[in-house]
Amino acid sequence: MSFQLTKEQKMIQKMAREFSRKVLADTAAERDKTHEYPAENLKHMGELGLLGMMVSEKYGGEGMGTLEYSLALSEVAYSCASTAVIMSVHNSICNGSIEKFGTEEQKEEFLKPMAEGKFIGAFALSEPEAGSDPQGMTCTAEKDGDHYVINGTKRFITTGKNSGVTILIARTSPEGTSGISAFLITHDMEGFEVGRIEDKMGQCASDTTDLLFDNCRVPASRMLGKEGDGFYIAMSGLDAGRIGIASLSLGIANAAFDESVKYSKQRKQFGSSITDNQGIRWMIADMAMEIEAAKLLILNAANTKDRGENCSVQASMAKCYASDMAQNVTGQAIQLHGGYGYTKEYPVERFYRDARITTIYEGTNQIQRIVIANNILKNGKKGKKRK
């Protein structure tokens, strides 16, 4: 299987790389300290088409595939993981869900300005007592005439404070997954407010918040899809979202790897470069192999989605492996830097902190392994004893 990039794909990758290295890299470390939301950078990304990459041209997007998007997202994450996670949720889940399930009116109202980067999307699924088990959600949406009245709390919502529209997943009836629906929420709705903003370990320039609903009245016209479609909408969005997080993980790992190679060539111990040490050379070789393996899993998942096939397992594999890989590679980068790697003088400590969350959000890696195993055991295509 060969993933030879086309001329157009290479151009997209180059454009994203140049923007990332020339614009995002300059302020990434400072934003990590100040937790400043990258509003101006996102505006620039909208102008470049990076915030509507997979949206149809009919709605102001670029009409590209998941593969092109994955390449660009990895380049953004190379310099700033905070900006990359905003880009991932906005493109993968929000744009994709609205285009796939929204009415024409909803697409005109929300999708077009989102594709142009005029405002950013958020996705609200997790709750204080419902993370890995979305069926346990208690946020409710009760029908009242031509409105739904929403009550409850959502937690750990990326861009919860700065979003222009949020896809809210809430329970419209008690009947399991069929009782879950999706709504398009805006900040001007009475009874809706942003709660606490988390003080996080990494990806600090991306706001992560609680969303609070107290008898929030939402017009029925703001329902995304039909009543009862919410669980399917959420799971469909997460398939794309996991490819996004895998791509983000790859970008962080590539940055940590490049810093490690540069440092190891410059650093001298015992009278020679540490690259003369076989142990160091093996560390670099292992990092390179893990990165390459993750890249191929990501390209396969993106390619599967672009062919219109079910990509749930491929997305879970890519997300699980790539995020585990990023955590390992950034940890090895710190080890290779020695004591310097543990200081803020070098960027690898930021890469390590940014990588840590990738094994948790968009479904923990324990959940990804369940998804993968369930598919294998249900389909019986793997794991059989050979005669």
- Residue 362 annotated in active site: yes
CA dihedral 237, 240, 242, 243 (to 10 degrees): -170
Cα–Cα distances in angstroms (integers) from residue 351 to residues 28, 63, 250, in the given order? 11, 31, 11
Query: Given 62, 75, 109, 362, which residue is catalytic?
Result: 362
Burial pattern 315-350, b for ≥16 Cβ within 10 A else e, equals bbbbbbbbbbbbbbbbbbbbebbeeebeeeebbbbb
Structural tokens at position 249: 């993980």
Q: Give 256's strand partners.
A: none
Dihedral (CA of 134, 137, 139, 144) sign: positive
Number of neighbouring beta carbons within 10 Å of residue 148: 23
| Phi, psi (deg, nearest 5) at residue 370 | -65, -45
Residues 198 and 208: beta-carbon distance below 8 Å = yes
Q: Cα(374)–Cα(387) distance, rounded to whole angstroms?
A: 23
Cα→Cα distances 117→11, 86, 106, 127, 160, Å: 21, 12, 16, 27, 16
What phi and psi, each to the nearest 5 degrees, are found at residue 152?
Answer: 140, -175
Which residues neighbour 79 within 8 Å (Cβ) at sequence distance 6 or greater?
A: 20, 21, 24, 25, 28, 255
- Of 181, 153, 148, 146, nearest to 167 by C-alpha is 181
How big is the chain by its Cα radius of gyration, in Å? Answer: 21
3-class secondary-structure state, position 273: strand
Q: What pairs with residue 170 in β-bridges?
A: 181
Tokens of 90: 């906005």
Sole residue written with tokens 């088409």: 49
Active site residues: 362
